[in-house]
Amino acid sequence: MKEHTQISKFLSLILRHKPEQIGLQLDQEGWAKIAELIEAAQQHNVPLDEALLQVIVEQNDKKRFQISEDGLMIRAVQGHSTNMVQRQMIALEPPQYLYHGTASRFIDSIQTQGLIAGQRHYVHLSENKETALNVGQRYGKPVLFLINTPQMYKNGFEFHQAENGVWLTIHVPTQYLSLIDQTKTGSLV
Ligand code: HQG
Protein backbone atom coordinates (compact mmCIF):
# COMPACT_ATOMS: atom_id res chain seq x y z
CA MET A 1 0.00 0.00 0.00
CA LYS A 2 2.84 2.34 0.92
CA GLU A 3 4.33 1.65 -2.50
CA HIS A 4 1.00 2.61 -4.10
CA THR A 5 0.95 5.94 -2.25
CA GLN A 6 4.51 6.67 -3.32
CA ILE A 7 3.76 5.88 -6.94
CA SER A 8 0.54 7.90 -6.79
CA LYS A 9 2.55 10.89 -5.55
CA PHE A 10 5.07 10.31 -8.31
CA LEU A 11 2.22 10.29 -10.86
CA SER A 12 0.84 13.55 -9.44
CA LEU A 13 4.27 15.14 -9.74
CA ILE A 14 4.77 13.99 -13.33
CA LEU A 15 1.23 14.35 -14.69
CA ARG A 16 0.47 17.69 -12.99
CA HIS A 17 3.69 19.52 -12.40
CA LYS A 18 6.96 18.28 -13.86
CA PRO A 19 6.60 15.89 -16.80
CA GLU A 20 10.02 17.08 -18.02
CA GLN A 21 11.60 15.47 -14.98
CA ILE A 22 11.37 12.11 -16.76
CA GLY A 23 11.25 13.56 -20.29
CA LEU A 24 7.53 12.86 -20.72
CA GLN A 25 5.30 14.73 -23.17
CA LEU A 26 1.74 15.67 -22.14
CA ASP A 27 -0.76 17.06 -24.64
CA GLN A 28 -2.85 20.19 -23.99
CA GLU A 29 -5.56 18.16 -22.30
CA GLY A 30 -3.01 16.57 -19.99
CA TRP A 31 -2.84 13.15 -21.65
CA ALA A 32 0.35 11.09 -21.64
CA LYS A 33 0.85 7.85 -23.54
CA ILE A 34 0.84 5.05 -20.97
CA ALA A 35 3.58 3.11 -22.78
CA GLU A 36 5.83 6.20 -22.73
CA LEU A 37 5.05 6.92 -19.08
CA ILE A 38 5.90 3.36 -18.03
CA GLU A 39 9.12 3.32 -19.98
CA ALA A 40 10.22 6.73 -18.71
CA ALA A 41 9.32 5.79 -15.11
CA GLN A 42 11.29 2.56 -15.31
CA GLN A 43 14.29 4.42 -16.69
CA HIS A 44 14.12 6.55 -13.53
CA ASN A 45 13.93 3.52 -11.25
CA VAL A 46 10.20 3.77 -10.55
CA PRO A 47 8.85 0.22 -10.73
CA LEU A 48 5.73 0.96 -12.74
CA ASP A 49 3.90 -1.45 -15.01
CA GLU A 50 0.48 -1.49 -16.64
CA ALA A 51 -1.24 -3.64 -14.00
CA LEU A 52 0.05 -1.50 -11.13
CA LEU A 53 -1.01 1.65 -12.95
CA GLN A 54 -4.57 0.30 -13.33
CA VAL A 55 -4.78 -0.51 -9.63
CA ILE A 56 -3.45 2.88 -8.57
CA VAL A 57 -5.89 4.72 -10.84
CA GLU A 58 -8.87 2.66 -9.69
CA GLN A 59 -8.04 2.78 -5.99
CA ASN A 60 -7.08 6.44 -5.87
CA ASP A 61 -9.08 8.05 -3.06
CA LYS A 62 -9.73 11.29 -4.91
CA LYS A 63 -9.97 9.84 -8.42
CA ARG A 64 -7.04 12.05 -9.38
CA PHE A 65 -6.24 10.16 -12.59
CA GLN A 66 -8.17 9.07 -15.66
CA ILE A 67 -7.35 6.45 -18.28
CA SER A 68 -8.61 7.13 -21.80
CA GLU A 69 -11.41 4.98 -23.23
CA ASP A 70 -9.02 3.19 -25.57
CA GLY A 71 -6.78 2.41 -22.58
CA LEU A 72 -3.73 3.98 -24.19
CA MET A 73 -3.44 7.27 -22.31
CA ILE A 74 -3.54 8.61 -18.78
CA ARG A 75 -3.93 12.08 -17.27
CA ALA A 76 -4.44 13.91 -13.99
CA VAL A 77 -7.94 15.41 -14.11
CA GLN A 78 -7.07 18.56 -12.15
CA GLY A 79 -4.40 20.22 -10.06
CA HIS A 80 -2.02 21.04 -12.92
CA SER A 81 0.70 23.63 -12.74
CA THR A 82 2.72 22.69 -15.86
CA ASN A 83 2.39 24.99 -18.87
CA MET A 84 2.38 21.94 -21.12
CA VAL A 85 -1.27 21.51 -20.14
CA GLN A 86 -3.98 24.05 -21.00
CA ARG A 87 -7.20 22.14 -20.63
CA GLN A 88 -10.19 23.47 -22.55
CA MET A 89 -12.96 22.91 -20.05
CA ILE A 90 -16.56 23.78 -20.62
CA ALA A 91 -18.05 26.54 -18.49
CA LEU A 92 -20.83 25.32 -16.21
CA GLU A 93 -23.30 26.98 -13.89
CA PRO A 94 -21.92 26.37 -10.41
CA PRO A 95 -23.99 25.03 -7.51
CA GLN A 96 -25.40 27.58 -5.09
CA TYR A 97 -22.86 26.74 -2.40
CA LEU A 98 -19.19 26.09 -3.01
CA TYR A 99 -16.55 26.08 -0.30
CA HIS A 100 -12.83 26.63 -0.15
CA GLY A 101 -10.92 25.06 2.69
CA THR A 102 -7.69 26.69 3.75
CA ALA A 103 -5.55 27.21 6.85
CA SER A 104 -6.23 29.97 9.40
CA ARG A 105 -2.79 31.51 8.77
CA PHE A 106 -3.85 32.43 5.20
CA ILE A 107 -7.04 34.26 6.21
CA ASP A 108 -5.60 37.80 6.24
CA SER A 109 -3.91 37.41 2.89
CA ILE A 110 -7.03 35.85 1.32
CA GLN A 111 -9.21 38.64 2.68
CA THR A 112 -6.84 41.13 1.03
CA GLN A 113 -6.17 39.44 -2.34
CA GLY A 114 -9.07 37.04 -2.72
CA LEU A 115 -8.41 33.40 -3.56
CA ILE A 116 -5.59 33.05 -6.03
CA ALA A 117 -4.51 29.95 -7.90
CA GLY A 118 -0.84 30.27 -6.99
CA GLN A 119 1.24 27.67 -8.81
CA ARG A 120 -1.79 25.78 -10.05
CA HIS A 121 -3.97 26.86 -12.98
CA TYR A 122 -7.15 27.21 -10.91
CA VAL A 123 -8.54 27.86 -7.45
CA HIS A 124 -10.06 24.61 -6.16
CA LEU A 125 -13.55 24.60 -4.67
CA SER A 126 -15.69 21.84 -3.15
CA GLU A 127 -19.42 21.25 -2.91
CA ASN A 128 -18.91 19.55 0.36
CA LYS A 129 -17.78 21.21 3.60
CA GLU A 130 -16.01 18.12 4.93
CA THR A 131 -13.96 17.77 1.76
CA ALA A 132 -13.03 21.45 1.92
CA LEU A 133 -11.98 21.13 5.57
CA ASN A 134 -9.79 18.15 4.68
CA VAL A 135 -8.13 20.20 1.94
CA GLY A 136 -7.55 23.06 4.42
CA GLN A 137 -6.07 20.93 7.16
CA ARG A 138 -3.10 20.02 4.96
CA TYR A 139 -1.66 23.46 5.73
CA GLY A 140 -2.67 24.11 9.33
CA LYS A 141 -5.81 24.80 11.36
CA PRO A 142 -8.58 24.39 8.77
CA VAL A 143 -11.06 27.18 8.07
CA LEU A 144 -13.79 27.48 5.48
CA PHE A 145 -14.76 30.21 3.07
CA LEU A 146 -18.16 30.19 1.41
CA ILE A 147 -18.12 31.46 -2.18
CA ASN A 148 -20.98 33.60 -3.45
CA THR A 149 -21.20 31.56 -6.66
CA PRO A 150 -24.60 32.88 -7.84
CA GLN A 151 -23.25 36.44 -7.86
CA MET A 152 -19.94 35.48 -9.46
CA TYR A 153 -21.79 33.56 -12.16
CA LYS A 154 -24.12 36.52 -12.76
CA ASN A 155 -21.07 38.74 -13.10
CA GLY A 156 -19.56 36.55 -15.81
CA PHE A 157 -16.98 34.47 -13.92
CA GLU A 158 -16.44 31.02 -15.41
CA PHE A 159 -16.61 27.80 -13.45
CA HIS A 160 -15.52 24.34 -14.53
CA GLN A 161 -15.84 20.93 -12.99
CA ALA A 162 -13.10 18.31 -13.23
CA GLU A 163 -14.00 14.67 -13.81
CA ASN A 164 -13.53 13.94 -10.10
CA GLY A 165 -16.04 16.58 -9.00
CA VAL A 166 -13.63 19.34 -7.97
CA TRP A 167 -14.85 22.80 -9.03
CA LEU A 168 -12.37 25.18 -10.61
CA THR A 169 -12.26 28.92 -11.24
CA ILE A 170 -9.42 31.30 -12.00
CA HIS A 171 -9.79 33.76 -9.10
CA VAL A 172 -12.28 34.59 -6.38
CA PRO A 173 -12.18 38.31 -5.50
CA THR A 174 -12.75 39.21 -1.85
CA GLN A 175 -16.28 40.55 -2.30
CA TYR A 176 -17.51 37.03 -3.07
CA LEU A 177 -15.93 35.43 -0.01
CA SER A 178 -17.31 34.94 3.46
CA LEU A 179 -15.45 33.28 6.25
CA ILE A 180 -17.70 30.74 7.90
CA ASP A 181 -17.88 30.87 11.66
CA GLN A 182 -17.64 27.19 12.51
CA THR A 183 -18.45 27.79 16.15
CA LYS A 184 -22.07 28.51 15.13
CA THR A 185 -24.10 25.37 14.77
CA GLY A 186 -27.29 25.06 12.80
CA SER A 187 -25.99 27.45 10.18
CA LEU A 188 -27.86 27.21 6.87
CA VAL A 189 -24.64 27.00 4.94
C1 HQG B 1 -4.10 29.33 -0.34
C2 HQG B 1 -5.50 18.72 -3.26
C3 HQG B 1 -2.67 33.27 0.78
C4 HQG B 1 -5.16 28.30 -0.55
C5 HQG B 1 -6.79 19.21 -2.66
C6 HQG B 1 -4.37 27.02 -0.31
C7 HQG B 1 -7.34 20.15 -3.68
C8 HQG B 1 -3.89 31.78 -0.44
C9 HQG B 1 -2.99 27.37 -0.83
C10 HQG B 1 -6.14 20.58 -4.47
C11 HQG B 1 -4.46 32.81 -1.19
C12 HQG B 1 -2.71 26.76 -2.18
C13 HQG B 1 -5.86 22.01 -4.29
C14 HQG B 1 -4.08 34.13 -0.89
C15 HQG B 1 -5.31 30.96 -1.89
N16 HQG B 1 -3.19 34.32 0.10
N17 HQG B 1 -2.99 32.00 0.56
N18 HQG B 1 -4.56 35.19 -1.55
N19 HQG B 1 -5.33 32.29 -2.08
N20 HQG B 1 -4.42 30.65 -0.89
O21 HQG B 1 -2.42 23.00 -2.58
O22 HQG B 1 -6.83 24.50 -2.80
O23 HQG B 1 -4.52 15.78 -2.96
O24 HQG B 1 -2.25 24.76 -4.41
O25 HQG B 1 -6.23 28.46 0.36
O26 HQG B 1 -7.66 18.18 -2.35
O27 HQG B 1 -5.20 23.73 -0.97
O28 HQG B 1 -3.33 17.22 -4.58
O29 HQG B 1 -4.41 24.43 -3.30
O30 HQG B 1 -4.31 26.72 1.05
O31 HQG B 1 -8.30 19.63 -4.52
O32 HQG B 1 -5.17 15.72 -5.36
O33 HQG B 1 -2.96 28.79 -0.97
O34 HQG B 1 -5.04 19.80 -4.01
O35 HQG B 1 -5.73 17.63 -4.05
O36 HQG B 1 -2.52 25.39 -1.99
O37 HQG B 1 -5.63 22.30 -2.92
P38 HQG B 1 -2.83 24.32 -3.11
P39 HQG B 1 -5.59 23.78 -2.42
P40 HQG B 1 -4.62 16.55 -4.25
Same CATH fold, 97-180 and 1-76? Answer: no
User: What is the pLDDT at residue 2?
Assistant: 72
Single pTM value for the model: 0.92
Q: 18 CA to middle of ligand 1, Å?
A: 18
Average pLDDT over the chain, rounded to whole? 95
Cβ atoms of 146 and 97 within 8 Å: the answer is yes
Convert the pLDDT of each residue in 167-178 to its tens digit: 999 999 999 999
88-105: average pLDDT? 97
Query: What is the mean predicted confidence (pLDDT) over 106-132?
Result: 97
Q: Whose CA is nearest to atom 30 of ligand 1?
A: 102
pLDDT for the residue numbered 183: 65
Kindly give the distance from the C-alpha atom of residue 43 to the centroid of ligand 1, in angstroms, as a whole number: 32
CATH class of segment(s) 1-76: mainly alpha
**Choice from 56, 110, 175 to test ligand 1 binding pocket (greatest atom count within 8 A of CB):** 110
Question: What letters, b where the CB count within 10 A reaches 16 and e where it falls short, cover 1-14?
Answer: eeeeeebbebbbeb
Q: What is the pLDDT of residue 76?
A: 98
Class of domain 97-180: alpha beta
Distance between CA atoms of 23 and 20, rounded to whole angstroms?
Answer: 4
How many A from CA of 72 to the centre of ligand 1?
31
Query: Domains of the chain: which residue ranges?
Result: 1-76, 97-180
Residues 69-91 pLDDT 10s: 999 999 999 999 999 999 999 99
